[in-house]
Every structure is written in structure tokens, then in C-alpha cells.
Amino acid sequence: MFPQAQPIYPVSGIRTIEARVGAQAQPTLMERAGRASAEEAVRLTQDRAGQVLIACGPGNNGGDGFVMARRLLQAGRPVTVAFADDPAKLPPDAAAALAAWRAAGGETVSDFPAAPANGWALVVDALFGIGLRRPVSGRYATWIDALNAQPAPRLAIDIPSGLDADTGRVLGTVFHATATLTFLALKPGLLTLDGPDIAGVVHLHRLDIDPAAWLAPMGMQIQPGLVRQLMKSRLQNTHKGCYGDVGIVGGARGMTGAALLAGRAALKLGTGRVLIGLVDDAGPAVDFNQAELMLQRPEDVLEQANVLALGPGLGRSTAAAALVEQAARSNKPIILDADALNLVAASEVLKSLIAAREAPTLMTPHPGEAGRLLGTDTANVQADRVASTLKIAGSYQALVVLKGSGSVVTYPDGRWLINSTGHPGMASAGMGDVLTGLIASLVAQGWPAESALLAAVHLHGAAADRLAREGIGPIGLTASEVAEASRGVFNGWIVQAGKGR
């Protein structure tokens, strides 16, 4: 699908892999998962003395916890196992794991135990695994609340209980992990929506299995290696005409800055020329902070530029809609953001034009705009971010990024990726405008549209991450700062890829 990217599987894919591996796995997958969990517990408690508390549930996730407990006990670590269900109702592998735990001298308590005098060294959630689809309630909700209240590191086995593995939705009460050890492959719910806030630091253990050998990856995580392999060096014998003309159309009254931000971002990423078409006739004639930008009539920009980005500060006027229609009828790559998306969502004519285009169309909605494109609301979009983004890509035959926590990139052929760069400091005005400029710049420079989209999304977040490491933000970070930092990160990637000059 994409080399140098980490596979992601929803629950259905993980279940398929487990079924295909089946009895061929010796030792069993549960035994491997429990051993890996014990090793992770030892790592997390190397500087903390005391007991480990493992709360085990009624399924195979609980079985992983029983194996973990036995391994820790055999390694000389004191362990308390809380388990309140009927052993006779456990799945076969989990029942065998419980029997092995007891045969090793282990015991279980049916009530949530009081903490030792010196507290727990680690608390472990082995209650519910990736199959959970309904809110946690009753005793286990109480146990999760009690686990969350412990002043100790909190480890989730495979996925935090109460987190939907496919969507990242919180299902009622949820375990707040400081670390999650997940098995075989990454799950979408760990990477998007609430997952990054709930799962803590995610560690992947493949259990000595190559999932892609058993099932083709169903999604991918965008990683630095994937982006670096796309880097291109520049010839010494070159000129600005080799790097394209980006046209930004937007900047209605009171929103001129949005178009300028997009243009500045495109310029700083190496576009040969950037033309800005401000729909407000009273707009400035020059950007005194970035005099290289060429401010022209929108109609001229649509004619001259070879890549068009519409939406930053565009507004929803009749004139704005006409500009979007003109761009949609062109044979040029177009990037649609902000009000350009809202105008498309409100017009059957524009919807049809976009879906029928042969040149690439790239769309960058936030959840509210995605809801309008799908004729639904933000809550429904966020309920399944991957599925929502795939539906937009299919309906509009477009390349789409759904922005937000764990931005989702999808293509019309059904491929999808999740990006993990970026942080909450990016929740500020103008960030989407900068992303639009970055995407447009790469397309103008000759990158295939699908590569430009995933690289720009990853770069956008990576630039913000670098600034935070340097003490700039995260709170108070500005879009202008991210545009500036993107240049440095991008050039660094070229050097790392061995293609710098």
C-alpha cells in the first residue's frame, strides 16, 4: 500500500489475522501477549518498588492479564489479580490462562482491593479488549474509576477499556492509560478522536507475527520514513518556473489574512510563484510582510496559476460561488478548503462538477465542514472519522484530509492513513489556511497529489511539534509560526533523505 508506513487494522482485520494464525502460533498469541505485557510492566516499574495490580475481565483480554500475572510472579514480582466473573464462562484460552495462574500459586480477589501502604507500583487494565462495543457499566465501571484514581502508572493491555478500537470514541467510563501496549498492529481508535488523549504513550508489540503476511494492511500510519522517501533534490540548473505557480483565491472583507497565510505557507515551501486573488476589491495591493506574493484579480489568478487553492477567507457570496465553479470546470488540480467546501456542500451543481473532474481535487474539511459535505452533523462525522472521510472521498472522487485529532487522509480508491504529528496548540485561527498552502505548494512543484496531501499533513504537524520542543507553544502558537517552521522541517527532511544540495 505505502512502503515505510505502519499498518493499521480495525477490529475486523485483527480478528481475521488471529483466525488465520490460529493454532499455528506456538506459543499461543495469548501467551505471547501476556509475556510482552509482563516485560512492559517490568520496564515501567524498574524504578518503583511494590505490588502490581492487574484487573482482569471476562474475556481474552482478561486472559492476557492472567498470563502477565503468572510471568511477573515467576519473575519474583508481587502481583494482585482482581477478577470477579465466573471462571466457567471464560473463553477456552482465558480459562486455561486462569488455571495456569492458579497452578503457579496465584490467587484472585473478587472485590477491588485496597492499595498497599506504599501504594501500587503499577495498575493494569486487562478488563475489556478491542471487541467492546457498548458502554462499560456496573461493577467494571466502578473498577475503572478506582483504577484511574490510583497515583501510579496505568498500563492498558491492547486498548484502554471503554475506548472503541475502531473509532476512538469513549464508551461511557474509560480507563485513562499512561501507556498502552497494543498487539499485532495499531488500531484506528488509538490514533484518532479521543484515542490519543486516553491511550497515553502507545507501544506496539507484533507478538513475532507479521500481520501484513496474513492480511493486506487496511490502513496506514503516516511516519517520517514514508515522507522522507518522497523528498526530491533540486538541480543546480533550475529556475522558478520549475516549481509551479500556486493561485490562492479567498480573502473576503475581514478575512484577508486567511488568503495571505496560505500564500505565505506556499511560498516558504518552495513554490516558484504565488498569486493571491482577493475577492474583496478593497483589499491591499501588496503584502508588506511578504512582498514576494503577487496580489491580483481572482479571475486572473484562476487563469494564470497551474494549481488553485480556494477557500481561505473566501466567504459564501454569489461571486465566491462563481469562482469555485470556474475552478471546478478547469483541468487544473484544485484544493478546496473552508468556505469553498461550504459552497460545494450547498450546491448540487458544484457537487456534480467536483465529482466528475478528471484533474485532482483535494479537500481539507474540519468535522463541521465534513458534516455539511455529507449532509449530516459534526457528531456523526466524529463518531467514525475514518468511515466519514472515506465516504467524502468516494462521493466527490476527491483526495480528502479530515482535520482534527489524528487527521485522516483518504483516497477515492478506499486507501486511508492516519497522521499522528501535531498537538493541541494547533487549535488556533489560520492553521487550516497554512495547511492549504503547503498542499498547494507540493502539488505545484510536481508531486503526485496523493503524496503531496499526506506529506503536507505530516509536515504541518511536525512543524508545530518542533516549535513546541523549542519552547514556542504549544499554547499561544500561531499559524504564521507554523508556516515559518515548516520550511526548516522540510529542508531537514531533504537532508536526512540524502537529497540535499
Distance CA 20, CA 245 (A): 51
Q: Is 432 annotated as a binding residue?
A: yes
- Band of pLDDT at residue 163, cut at 50, 70 and 90: very high
DSSP symbol at 46: T
CB 486 within 8 A of CB 463: yes
CA end-to-end span of the chain: 30
- Residue 363 to residue 264: CA distance in whole angstroms: 20
Measure the CA–CA gap between 419 and 400, rounded to whole angstroms.
13
Give the mean pLDDT of 207-211: 95
Pairing of β 52-56 and β 79-82: parallel
Whole-angstrom Cα Rg for the chain:
26
* Cα–Cα distances in angstroms (integers) from residue 404 to residues 26, 45, 194, 379, 441, in the given order: 41, 34, 10, 13, 22
Q: Say if residue 117 carries a ligand binding annotation.
A: no
What are the pLDDT digits (tens) for 447-459? 999 999 999 999 9
Indicate the pairing of strand 52-56 with strand 122-126. parallel
**Predicted structure pTM score:** 0.94
Predicted pLDDT of residue 121: 97
| Cell output for 31 | 501467551
Whole-number pLDDT of residue 499: 62
pLDDT score recorded for residue 30: 96
The answer to whether residue 501 scores a pLDDT higher than 70 is no
131 among annotated binding-site residues = yes
Question: Is 61 annotated as contributing to ligand binding?
Answer: yes
Annotated binding residue 241 = no
Look at residues 277, 290, 276, 283 and name the one whose alpha carbon lies nearest to residue 256: 283
Q: Which three cell numbers stand for residue 361?
A: 481535487
Check the annotation: does 415 bind a ligand: no
47 a known binding residue? no
433 is in an annotated binding site: yes
Answer yes or no: is 446 a known binding residue.
no
β-strand partners of 109: 82
- What's the mean pLDDT in 69-76? 96
Confidence at residue 48, expressed as pLDDT on a 0 to 100 scale: 86
Please indicate if the annotation marks 428 as binding a ligand.
no
Contacts of 473 (CB under 8 A, 6+ apart): 423, 425, 464, 467, 481
Cell triple for 231: 523528498
Residue 290 above 90 pLDDT?
no
- Average confidence (pLDDT) over 363-378: 98
Q: Is 134 annotated as a binding residue?
A: yes
Query: DSSP class of residue 120?
Result: -
CA-to-CA distance for 444 and 457, rounded, in angstroms?
Answer: 16
Owner of C-alpha cell 488568503? 259
337 is in an annotated binding site: no
Q: Which of the 8 DSSP states describes residue 481?
A: H
Report the side by side order of strands in the sheet with 52-56: 108-109, 79-82, 52-56, 122-126, 154-157, 179-183, 201-205
Q: Is the per-residue pLDDT at 500 higher than 60?
A: no
Quick one: 187 exposed, middle or buried, by C-beta within 10 A (0-12, 13-18, 19+)? buried
Q: What are 341-362's pLDDT values in tens digits?
A: 999 999 999 999 999 999 999 9
Q: Is the pLDDT of residue 232 over 70?
A: yes
Beta-bridged to residue 126, according to DSSP, are 56
What tens digit of pLDDT does each residue of 374-430 get?
999 999 999 999 999 999 999 999 999 999 999 999 999 999 999 999 999 999 999
Cβ contact 82:108 at 8 Å: yes
Q: Please check if 366 is assigned to a binding site.
A: yes
d(CA 435, CA 381): 21
Q: String of b and e for 335-374 (b: at least 16 CB within 10 Å)?
A: bbbbbbbbbbbebeebbebbbebeebbbbbbbbebbbbbb
Q: How confident is the model at residue 231 (pLDDT cuts 50, 70, 90)?
A: confident
C-alpha cell at 166: 475502531
Tell me the DSSP string of 366-389. -HHHHHHHHTS-HHHHHHTHHHHH
Q: Provide the β-strand partners of residue 136.
A: 172
Q: What is the DSSP code (8-state) at residue 218? A: S
274: CB partners within 8 A, 6+ apart:
245, 246, 247, 248, 263, 266, 267, 292, 293, 294
Per the annotation, does 34 bind a ligand? no
All domains of the chain in start order, with CATH: 6-222 (3.40.50.10260), 239-496 (3.40.1190.20)
pLDDT of residue 92: 94
Burial 269-278, CB ≥16 within 10 A → b, else e? bbbbbbbbbb
Q: In the structure, what pLDDT confidence band is assigned to residue 276 with cuts at 50, 70 and 90?
A: very high
On the CB side of 214, CA atoms within 13 Å amount to: 20
Residue 394 marked as a ligand binder: no
SS (H, E, C) 157-207: ECCCCCECCCCCCECECCCCCCEEEEECCECHHHHCCCHHHHHCEEEEECC
Mean pLDDT, range 148-153, rounded to an integer: 96
Whether 147 has a pLDDT exceeding 80, the answer reads yes
What pLDDT does 315 receive?
95
Q: How many residues does the chain have?
A: 501
Say if residue 158 carries a ligand binding annotation: yes
Instruction: Check residues 23 and 344 and name the one with the higher pLDDT.
Output: 344
Beta bridge partners of 154: 123
**pLDDT, averaged across the chain:** 95
Report the pLDDT value the prediction gives residue 289, as an integer from 0 to 100.
Answer: 87
Note the pLDDT of residue 1.
61
268 a known binding residue? no
Residue 406 is labelled as binding a ligand = yes
